[in-house]
Amino acid sequence: MDEKSKILIVDDENGLRLGTERLLEEEGYYVESAPNGNEGIRLGKSKEFDVAIIDLKMPDVDGLTVLKEIKSVHPNTVCFIATAFASYETAIESTRLGAFGYIPKPFSPEEIIYQIEQGINQRKLILESERLKKEREENLLELANEKSRLNAIIKSINDGILVINKNAELVYYNYAALKFLDLAEIELGSKILNILPEKVVKTVNKLFYSETFHLKSYSQQIELKPNNQLIVEFSTTPIPNSDGSLAGVVLIISNITEYKKIELLKSQFVSMVAHELKAPLAAVQGYLNIMIDKSIQLSPEKQEDYLKRSLTRLKGLTDLVNDLLDISRIELNTKQREIEQIDIREIIENSFQFFELDIKKKNISIETHLDENIPAINADYNEITRVVTNLLSNAIKYNNTNGKIEIELYKSHNYLILKISDTGIGLKPEEKTKLFNEFYRAKNEMTHGISGTGLGLSIVKIIVDSYHGKIEVESEFGKGTTFIINLPINIK
């Protein structure tokens, strides 16, 4: 023991008391002593001794009372009753009151040292068992906390959880499960299968009634509310007993509505792409078939015309594939952006050169109002060029002969504002809302014969969005259209 063991001696016989005190001190113990019962009680209560030796017969208070009093405050102090008047009754009574042993008087030094050692060992055992008891209590408390914490976690999970035992009774659930099943409450122990979707019940029953089972989940997608309002996935997993038999099943219900919607959009997009790719191919194939058909006589002019038309359609196809690749690059972030300081004015000037021929062909006049004090912005040169050329290309394509294009560039707060207006055919209100959809092309009596991939504005929007900018459109059918791009100046 690191610290000296503390011994208390209570005895009215001075000689014996002091002799024992000295003996034990020599043995390395810390000893205090009391010459009478009252002093013994006072000392014994004032601090916790490891061992106390109490004389049975004392003039003021008897040893059994002293024992009782000390034990009432320090129940773990190991007490011996010492007496010359050993009797069977006092022995029983002192043990009843919690004495550890009985030391007959007179005792030899060896005897008393042996008894003290026994007492100290007992004291160690008591303290160790106290410590273990306390630890166990703390563990239990922790376990209870853990359990309630786990409970709280499971209850707040978004996925529904139902645990069903082999008698098809509900043994556990969380609130999300109630919500999915559209129930206000559900009783533990109630038969649950009749309120579950048929497909799920089949799976559960299959597990219940088969001899063996595999520890794997069975997933089923179920429309809980019609018209794709709520689609969930039930995942059924067996719970094994320790002997390997089936204890029950756990059902996890996850909301997959959004995921299914995206899946649908994706497959719609794929079929739209396939169709857009097929149309020009079919046109080219058609011309080629006619040209090799020996039964059809074609003039050289017609033949040339068909080849030219085929080339035009193939060019459209190439443009489409390039646009699609651009979209996927931007959306998948596979293209490394080269952010540099760029001057939008320069991009606008260059774009005019690029479309010079088309502008001349339609005799379109251009008017620019580019603010001189526009700061350079940090952006990818090619992406911003794409935004400007796609908008300018539309402004030319959908413009009338002898029309006008107006380009305005200025700073407003922390934004660069780029406005590109044309005096072309304009948009009907219902067309405006669909304008940025992939493959949407305004189809009306005025757009006939204008070619395009239907992806130009989608690309513009994707790029502008990726810079946390905004694109707006103002238009009047038959009068013209204005696209307004807002780009934050500190774009990264």
To another protein, the closest distance from the beta carbon of 398 in angstroms equals 15
To another protein, the closest distance from the beta carbon of 449 in angstroms equals 8
H or E element at residue 369: strand 365-370
The Cα–Cα gap between 300 and 303 comes to 5
Q: Please select the residue that binds another protein; options are 188, 290, 325, 376, rule is CB under 8 A.
A: 290
Q: Does 271 bind another protein (CB under 8 A)?
A: yes
Q: Does 195 bind another protein (CB under 8 A)?
A: no
To another protein, the closest distance from the beta carbon of 227 in angstroms equals 16
Q: Does 136 bind another protein (CB under 8 A)?
A: no
Q: Which is nearer to another protein, 178 or 291 (CB)?
A: 291
H or E element at residue 391: helix 381-397
Q: Which is nearer to another protein, 241 or 289 (CB)?
A: 289
What are residue 238's DSSP bridge partners? 249
Q: How many CB atoms lie within 10 A of CB 315?
A: 12
Q: Which is nearer to another protein, 7 or 455 (CB)?
A: 455
Asked if residue 491 lies in contact with residue 469, where contact means CB atoms within 8 angstroms, the answer is yes
Position 41: which residue type? I
Q: How many amino acids of this chain bind another protein (CB under 8 A)?
A: 25
To another protein, the closest distance from the beta carbon of 288 in angstroms equals 10
The Cα–Cα gap between 127 and 189 comes to 46
To another protein, the closest distance from the beta carbon of 299 in angstroms equals 11
Phi-psi region of 278 (alpha: psi -120 to 50; beta: other; left: phi over 0): alpha
Q: Please select the residue that binds another protein; options are 92, 141, 183, 282, rule is CB under 8 A.
A: 282
Position 296: which residue type? I
To another protein, the closest distance from the beta carbon of 229 in angstroms equals 20
Q: Does 175 bind another protein (CB under 8 A)?
A: no
Q: Does 309 bind another protein (CB under 8 A)?
A: yes
CA pseudo-torsion sign 420, 425, 428, 432:
negative
Burial 104-125 (b: 16+ CB within 10 A, else e): eeebeeeebbebbeebbebbee
Q: Which is nearer to another protein, 153 or 298 (CB)?
A: 298
Q: Please select the residue that binds another protein; options are 123, 313, 386, 397, rule is CB under 8 A.
A: 313
Site for another protein in 412-451 (CB under 8 A): 443-445, 447-449
To another protein, the closest distance from the beta carbon of 271 in angstroms equals 6
CB under 8 Å to 214, separation ≥6 — which residues?
238
Q: Does 272 bind another protein (CB under 8 A)?
A: yes
What are residue 476's DSSP bridge partners? 480
**Tokens coding 470:** 């905004």
* Phi, psi for 445 (deg, rounded to 5): -60, -20
First to last CA, the chain: 69
Q: Which is nearer to another protein, 273 or 484 (CB)?
A: 273
Strands (E), 153-309: 160-165, 170-173, 218-225, 230-240, 246-255
Strands (E), 166-245: 170-173, 218-225, 230-240
**DSSP letter string over 109-132?**
HHHHHHHHHHHHHHHHHHHHHHHH
To another protein, the closest distance from the beta carbon of 430 in angstroms equals 11
Q: How many CB atoms lie within 10 A of CB 16?
A: 17
Q: Give me the 344-383 binding string for another protein, x by CB under 8 A, dash otherwise.
A: ----------------------------------------
Q: Does 296 bind another protein (CB under 8 A)?
A: yes
Q: Does 325 bind another protein (CB under 8 A)?
A: no
Q: Which is nearer to another protein, 188 or 296 (CB)?
A: 296
To another protein, the closest distance from the beta carbon of 462 in angstroms equals 22
Q: Which is nearer to another protein, 172 or 306 (CB)?
A: 306
Q: Give me the 444-463 binding string for another protein, x by CB under 8 A, dash otherwise.
A: xx-xxx--------------
Q: Please select the residue that binds another protein; options are 283, 321, 374, 450, rule is CB under 8 A.
A: 283
Q: Does 274 bind another protein (CB under 8 A)?
A: yes
Q: Does 316 bind another protein (CB under 8 A)?
A: no
> If you compute the radius of gyration of the chain from its CA atoms, what whole number of angstroms results?
47
SS3 category, 446: coil
Comparing C-alpha atoms, which of 288, 289, 279 is closest to residue 313?
Answer: 279
Comparing C-alpha atoms, which of 465, 485, 463, 469 is closest to residue 410?
Answer: 485
Q: Which is nearer to another protein, 245 or 303 (CB)?
A: 303
Q: Does 105 bind another protein (CB under 8 A)?
A: no
What residue ranges bind another protein (CB under 8 A)?
271-272, 274-275, 278-279, 282-283, 285-287, 289-290, 293, 295-296, 298, 309, 313, 443-445, 447-449
